Chain A
Amino acid sequence: MLPPVFGVLFDGLAYGMLLFLLSVGQSVTLGMMNFINLAHCSFAMLGGYVTATLMNRYGWPFFATLPCAFIGAAVVSVAFERTLFRRLYRAGELDQVLLTIGIVFISVAVAAYIFSTDQQPLQLPPYLRTSFTFMGIRFAAYRLILIALALAITVALVLGIEYTRFGAKVRAAVDNERMARGLGIDVGRTFAITFALGSGLAGLGGALAIEIVGLDPSFAFTYLIYVLIVVSVGGLGSISGSFAAAIVLGISDVAGKYYIPQLGAFLIYLVMISLLMWRPLGLLGRR
């Protein structure tokens, strides 16, 4: 028999994995272009709505909708990047914050217009809704799959960044953008692809999040804050940093809500401020 703390750890881990999927793209693109994209969670929300619509209206199976959530978020985000965001790479942080907050406002309003402000219902297949008990701890099948999926993506990301030609370009651009340009790397193109991939992962995260945290138009705002916390605590441009930060944050959030519910979200904000004050560049930030 294991004490209940392991159950909390398991749920926290699943939640942390979700946060990691939502924020990893933001971390890499921020590290590359120093572009503060607050609309990142709007793309995640888009992915969530793609999955909800395909399942509820067209009866697609859950797993078939996930690639569509990824592709939908990636395509829309790259359209925004090419038309709007790229104008502001050289602008100050205030302009970037304002433009992207504007897009968040628009996306929230559009989502409320199309889908109403209600929570989206999601009927998962029965085999995902089961759970089993192992040594006194209840493991939900869905959370196990979520963790496995996120771990697989993490491994793929780390390997991709470390061993592929494209990954090398991304690392070069994050480390020193001007030098990378000087070596003939098309940073703009690399960035656009990275941006699309990151937003696609966010879209996937948004689709996977429906079962755990629900989906309504306020998603873009609520999870924006969590993503920013993960990114700034983890350190810009660092995949492993985001991974560590997401797990710390997920576990402390779930544990805080389990053990001291009257504090609410107070604990994670406290964790974030203390971590930022201790290491302003993030846990594994280099700059």
Chain B
Amino acid sequence: MTATEATMSPRLYLQAQTRWRPAEIVFWLATLLPYLLFPDYLSLASQIAITGLFAMSLDLILGYAGIVSLGHAAFFGVGAYTAGLLSKYGWGEPLSGLVVAAAAAAIVGYATSFVICRFRHLALIMLTLGFGLLLKELANSAGWLTGGMDGLQGIHTWKLLGRFAFDLYGYVAYSYALAVLFVLFLFARRLIHSPFGLSLRGIRENFVRMPAIGAPSRAHIRTIYTIAAAIAGVAGAVLAQTTETVSLDSLDFERSAEVVVILVLGGPGRLYGGLIGAIVFMVARDQFSGIEPQYWYFWIGILLVGVVLFLPNGILGGLAKLTSLWSRS
């Protein structure tokens, strides 16, 4: 840290943080490359954008507020089922579907956040896990509504903005997923570079001491948990609308675990970590999918052990270390 940075006023510090770096602009321009380079893989690209959005929502609570959640798929599933059911019962307009799905996930998130904010450590992990499992069992037993094990059938998404039909090649699906991702990314970026975002990091570092400097830890956790739930719900809704199916595995424990893996692989607490992690993870899975799926789990396991032992802050953390070494020498 240089002397000017240390004496910077809080307002200037936050302004400096919000400035766009060249690498960020390159990253977002690169998200347009699939149209040119891999037109056959656009549906994979839209899956990546959805997963990236989901991982980014987890980053807000895990990376910034330090809430380890093993049940984040609950909100993804709530969003997916809300959008799916809305479309099944006659309202297939995608954008308003997203809003309703976000609202439904936010309501569930807000309700559970009153419990979440009271606990830390193991009890917290167990409660998030428990809520996720509970919701899956609920969806499973309410077969008349959700279709149970067979999944939700009969979803039809209307044309986007009344003009663009969702096609087989995924042009519209990818554009839609990417646009939603970008808009919500801008929102999350603004959020974490606000005083509120700074106090979240404070809570992550010391939950007990933050109230002493006037930041109500529990109220902040409730807010960010609700926001993260809404974003996860949007991710689920985009998946439901673009694939026109919702199955029970959108609520699975495996999905919750997978998104934690993706985020940690990319690097938590950096906002881009979830996106980078989603790209690496989904492309790797696509390449490995020719082999039996159970061997894929073997490689995820190896990856996880490797990341924890050798790359504690994920890919982005490793890169940051490399660049700081580079600039010092």
- Chain B residues contacting A269 (CB-CB under 8 Å) are 130, 133-134, 137
- Let me know if A165 is at the binding interface, CB within 8 A: no
- Let me know if A124 is at the binding interface, CB within 8 A: no
- CB closest chain-B residue, reference A117: B294
- CB closest chain-B residue, reference A273: B130
Selected interface stretch from B3-11, B166-174, B299-307: B299-307
- Let me know if A229 is at the binding interface, CB within 8 A: yes
8 Å CB interface, A72-116 against B: 84, 87-88, 93-95, 97-99, 101-110, 112-113
Chain B interface mostly helix, strand, loop or mixed?
helix
The number of residues on chain B lying at the interface, defined by a beta carbon within 8 Å of a beta carbon of chain A, is: 42
- Contact yes or no, B129 A228, CB < 8 A: yes
Selected interface stretch from B16-24, B119-127, B278-286: B119-127
- Chain B residues contacting A61 (CB-CB under 8 Å) are none
Task: Given A99-B305, A106-B301, A225-B253, check contact A280 B130 (CB 8 Å).
Answer: no
- CB closest chain-B residue, reference A87: B309
- Contact yes or no, B304 A265, CB < 8 A: no
Contact bitstring A191-229, B, C-beta under 8 A = 1, else 0: 000000000000000000000000001000100010011
- Contact yes or no, B127 A273, CB < 8 A: yes
- Chain A residues contacting B307 (CB-CB under 8 Å) are 98
Q: How far is the CB of B292 from chain A (nearest CB, A)?
A: 8
Selected interface stretch from B42-50, B84-92, B209-217, B257-265: B257-265
Contact bitstring B127-170, A, C-beta under 8 A = 1, else 0: 10111011001101100000000000000000000000000000
Task: Given A98-B261, A217-B294, A225-B133, check contact A106 B302 (CB 8 Å).
Answer: yes
- CB closest chain-B residue, reference A285: B123
Point out the residue from A98, A221, A229, A265 that lies within 8 Å of B137, measured CB to CB. Answer: A265
- Chain B residues contacting A137 (CB-CB under 8 Å) are none
- Chain A residues contacting B62 (CB-CB under 8 Å) are 94
- Chain B residues contacting A270 (CB-CB under 8 Å) are 134
Q: How far is the CB of A283 from chain B (nearest CB, A)?
A: 13
- CB closest chain-B residue, reference A265: B137
- Chain B residues contacting A98 (CB-CB under 8 Å) are 260-261, 264, 304, 307-308
Q: How far is the CB of B196 from chain A (nearest CB, A)?
A: 23
- Contact yes or no, A109 B308, CB < 8 A: no
Task: Given A94-B264, A117-B294, A276-B123, check contact A102 B300 (CB 8 Å).
Answer: yes
Q: How far is the CB of B273 from chain A (nearest CB, A)?
A: 13
CA distance A109 to B134 in the complex (A): 27
- Let me know if B295 is at the binding interface, CB within 8 A: yes
CA distance A255 to B304 in the complex (A): 38
- Chain B residues contacting A99 (CB-CB under 8 Å) are 304-305, 308-309
Q: How far is the CB of B58 from chain A (nearest CB, A)?
A: 12
- Contact yes or no, B301 A109, CB < 8 A: yes
- Chain B residues contacting A105 (CB-CB under 8 Å) are 297-298, 300-301, 304
- CB closest chain-A residue, reference B140: A264
- Chain B residues contacting A102 (CB-CB under 8 Å) are 300-305, 308
- Contact yes or no, A110 B133, CB < 8 A: no
- Let me know if A153 is at the binding interface, CB within 8 A: no
Task: Given A99-B309, A263-B141, A266-B134, check contact A277 B115 (CB 8 Å).
Answer: yes
- Let me know if A21 is at the binding interface, CB within 8 A: no
- Contact yes or no, A93 B68, CB < 8 A: yes
- Contact yes or no, A280 B123, CB < 8 A: yes
- CB closest chain-A residue, reference B254: A221
- Contact yes or no, A109 B141, CB < 8 A: no
CA distance A102 to B62 in the complex (A): 18
- Let me know if A164 is at the binding interface, CB within 8 A: no
Q: How far is the CB of B204 from chain A (nearest CB, A)?
A: 10
- Contact yes or no, B121 A93, CB < 8 A: yes
Task: Given A263-B137, A264-B141, check contact A104 B301 (CB 8 Å).
Answer: yes
CA distance A265 to B141 in the complex (A): 10
- Let me know if B312 is at the binding interface, CB within 8 A: yes
Task: Given A95-B308, A95-B312, A109-B294, check contact A276 B126 (CB 8 Å).
Answer: yes
- Chain A residues contacting B296 (CB-CB under 8 Å) are 109
Most buried by B among A105, A117, A217, A281: A105
Q: How far is the CB of B203 from chain A (nearest CB, A)?
A: 15
CA distance A117 to B296 in the complex (A): 14
- Contact yes or no, B137 A266, CB < 8 A: yes
- Let me know if A14 is at the binding interface, CB within 8 A: no
Task: Given A97-B68, A112-B294, A225-B129, check contact A273 B134 (CB 8 Å).
Answer: yes
- Contact yes or no, A113 B125, CB < 8 A: no
- Contact yes or no, A97 B125, CB < 8 A: yes
- Contact yes or no, A113 B133, CB < 8 A: no
CA distance A113 to B301 in the complex (A): 14
- Contact yes or no, A101 B123, CB < 8 A: no
CA distance A131 to B170 in the complex (A): 60
- Contact yes or no, B140 A113, CB < 8 A: no
CA distance A110 to B297 in the complex (A): 9
- Chain B residues contacting A264 (CB-CB under 8 Å) are 137, 140-141
CA distance A99 to B257 in the complex (A): 12
Sample (27) of A-B pairs whose CB atoms are under 8 Å apart: A93-B122, A93-B125, A95-B308, A98-B264, A98-B308, A101-B257, A101-B301, A102-B302, A105-B297, A106-B301, A107-B301, A108-B297, A109-B294, A109-B297, A109-B298, A117-B294, A217-B294, A225-B129, A236-B122, A266-B134, A269-B130, A269-B137, A273-B130, A273-B134, A276-B127, A277-B115, A280-B118
Query: What 10 pairs across the A-B complex have the smallest Cβ distances?
Result: A102-B304, A105-B301, A109-B298, A106-B301, A112-B294, A266-B137, A102-B305, A269-B134, A99-B308, A102-B301
Extra inter-chain contacts (6) besides given A101-B301, A106-B301, CB under 8 Å = A101-B304, A109-B294, A263-B137, A264-B141, A276-B127, A276-B130
